[in-house]
């Protein structure tokens, strides 16, 4: 993690707004994941931050990849394919799962030559896959509790466990092979019981499927592993200590276990540095305008239900302040209650733990471009 002096030096060198990605932190996060869930193969959720440099660092560390669109698929494919031939693997199965349960016909046709592993959760998707991607392997996504998740997903995706085996049988009847099950407990989940209940639901489906003649080979436990945005977040080691014995009890080897960490791997690996470009006093408090906002690196405030705290390089007594982005839209509000010292025009501020679902969804709204990206410790 870069120090304040390093952040300032990088901002002086490259200008602001500046999105700084520390690859040492990425490697540490991946190592922590493997240390506490050694049996689980981590498939990085590329949507969290699709920068090819991040893909490269995680590939070198041993990660696989969860993609949810053809552009994400091609980021991983093109990175792997540029490696020397002796370093390539049978990587479509070892390195990628296409984990978007809903895919267009065109996407399926594009995927089919690669014989991918894809998720599904309904009968219409079976018919589409059978017609447009008959060489794909399937993982059935099950609807599971998302209680307490920052971003709830079960209302959009997942088949009820009661219809799971019928969906497996329907895929079989269509000439497809269901390799296993997948689920997602919701993003930034600190309620470990979501995982426990999901694992128990899937164990029941495995047993029913076996009784009906279908042998499943893998379980994808999805993402949702929380990033330490604040001190109150359940540490990953404690969450893993509860999940690990349940996996071993319910799903003995050689069954393959996958996961799709995104936020956990990348959130703490990036810091945003911005400049104060305007200042006013309204509603009894200072208001600061900076050159990055919710249409840019702080987009997670809107799309990810996330709060990012700002820190100042300048010292002094703190007071409740409002912070806005540079656009003309009133939605471009970063915080109405940030504790900051008295700032001047040209001062720099920074926000840590902003690596996930931030720069990935930045736009150029109102003519303001996204922050420049700088990679350190690659």
pLDDT in tens, 314-340: 999 999 999 999 999 999 999 999 999
Residues 39 and 170 in one domain: yes
**What integer pLDDT is reported at residue 79 of this predicted model?**
79
H/E run at residue 269: none
Would the pLDDT of 132 be above 60? yes
**What integer pLDDT is reported at residue 184 of this predicted model?**
87
**What integer pLDDT is reported at residue 149 of this predicted model?**
46
Would the pLDDT of 287 be above 50? yes
Measured in residues, the chain has a length of: 378
The CATH number covering residue 14 comes to 2.40.37.10
Q: What is the pLDDT of residues 112-125, one digit of tens each?
A: 998 889 999 999 99
Tokens of 148: 């307490």
Residues 294 and 177 in one domain: no
Does residue 153 contact residue 186 with C-beta atoms inside 8 Å? yes
Instruction: Kindly state the average pLDDT of the residues 125-143.
Output: 96
Residues 297 and 214 in one domain: no
Residues 197 and 229 in one domain: yes
106-110, 145-149, 265-269, 365-369: least confidently modelled range = 145-149
Specify the higher pLDDT residue, 336 or 92. Answer: 336
Q: How confident is the model at residue 93 (pLDDT cuts 50, 70, 90)?
A: low
Residues 44 and 156 in one domain: yes
Would the pLDDT of 89 be above 50? no
Is 307 marked active-site? no
| Residue at a domain's end among 267, 299, 334 | 267
Show the DSSP H helices in the chain as ranges: 4-14, 23-36, 52-61, 70-81, 91-95, 105-111, 123-132, 164-173, 193-211, 236-250, 263-266, 300-303
Residues 246 and 364 in one domain: no
Residues 130 and 213 in one domain: yes
d(CA 287, CA 308): 17
Instruction: Kindly state the average pLDDT of the residues 98-106.
Output: 96
**What integer pLDDT is reported at residue 284 of this predicted model?**
92
Query: What percent of the chain shows pLDDT beyond 90?
Result: 77
Please state the φ and ψ torsions of residue 320, each to the nearest 5 degrees: -65, 125
Considering only CA atoms, which of 32, 71, 41 is closest in space to residue 255? 41
Residues 204 and 344 in one domain: no
Specify the higher pLDDT residue, 307 or 208. Answer: 208
Residues paired with 18 in a beta bridge? 273, 372
Q: How confident is the model at residue 86 (pLDDT cuts 50, 70, 90)?
A: low
**What integer pLDDT is reported at residue 163 of this predicted model?**
94
Query: Which residue is catalytic, options 287, 306, 307, 328?
Result: 328
Residues 38 and 93 in one domain: yes
d(CA 57, CA 78): 14
0.85 exceeded by pTM: yes
- DSSP-derived secondary structure letter, 154: T
Number of structural domains (the chain) is 2
Residues 42 and 168 in one domain: yes
d(CA 195, CA 243): 7
| Residue at a domain's end among 211, 242, 267 | 267
**What integer pLDDT is reported at residue 230 of this predicted model?**
79
**What integer pLDDT is reported at residue 155 of this predicted model?**
61
| Residue at a domain's end among 234, 251, 267 | 267
The CATH number covering residue 86 comes to 3.20.20.10
Instruction: Kindly state the average pLDDT of the residues 353-365.
Output: 92
Residues 150 and 55 in one domain: yes
Range of the domain at 125: 24-267
Residues 283 and 192 in one domain: no
d(CA 221, CA 240): 12
Please provide the average confidence, as pLDDT, over all residues in the chain. Answer: 91
Considering only CA atoms, which of 174, 227, 178, 226 is closest in space to residue 202? 178
Chain center to CA of 244: 21
55-69, 105-119, 141-155, 279-293: least confidently modelled range = 141-155
Instruction: Kindly state the average pLDDT of the residues 53-80.
Output: 92
């Amino acid at each position: 993690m870069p120090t304040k002096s390093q952040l300032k030096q990088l901002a002086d060198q490259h200008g602001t707004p500046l999105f700084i990605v520390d690859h040492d932190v990425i490697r540490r996060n991946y190592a922590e994941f493997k240390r506490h869930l050694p049996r689980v193969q981590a498939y990085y959720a590329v949507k969290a931050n699709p920068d090819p440099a991040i893909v490269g660092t995680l590939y070198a560390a041993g990660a696989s990849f969860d993609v949810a669109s053809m552009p994400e698929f091609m980021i991983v494919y093109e990175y792997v394919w540029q490696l020397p031939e002796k370093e390539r693997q049978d990587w479509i199965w070892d390195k990628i799962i296409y984990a978007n349960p809903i895919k267009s016909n065109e996407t399926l046709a594009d995927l089919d030559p690669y014989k991918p592993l894809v998720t599904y959760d309904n009968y219409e998707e079976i018919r589409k896959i059978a017609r447009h991607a008959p060489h794909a392997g399937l993982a059935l996504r099950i609807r599971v509790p998302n209680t307490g998740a920052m971003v709830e997903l079960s209302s959009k995706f997942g088949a009820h466990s009661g219809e799971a085996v019928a969906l497996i049988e329907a895929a079989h009847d269509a000439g497809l092979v269901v390799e296993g099950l997948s689920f997602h407990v919701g993003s930034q989940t600190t309620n470990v019981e979501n995982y426990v209940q999901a694992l128990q639901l899937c164990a029941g489906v495995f047993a029913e499927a076996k009784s009906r003649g279908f042998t499943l080979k893998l379980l994808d436990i999805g993402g949702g592993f929380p990033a330490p945005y604040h001190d109150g977040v359940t540490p990953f080691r404690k969450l893993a200590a509860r999940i690990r014995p349940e996996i071993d009890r319910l799903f003995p080897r050689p069954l393959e276990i996958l996961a799709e960490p995104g936020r956990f791997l990348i959130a703490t690996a990036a810091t945003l540095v911005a400049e104060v470009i305007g200042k006013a006093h309204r509603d009894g408090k200072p208001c600061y305008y900076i050159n990055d906002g919710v249409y840019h690196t702080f987009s997670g405030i809107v799309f990810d239900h996330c709060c990012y705290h700002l820190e100042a390089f300048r010292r002094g007594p703190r007071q409740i302040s409002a912070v806005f982005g540079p656009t003309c839209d009133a939605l471009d509000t970063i915080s109405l209650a940030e504790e900051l010292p008295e700032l001047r025009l040209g001062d720099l501020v920074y926000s840590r733990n902003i690596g996930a679902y931030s720069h990935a969804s930045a736009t150029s709204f109102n003519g303001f471009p996204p922050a420049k990206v700088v990679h350190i410790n690659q």
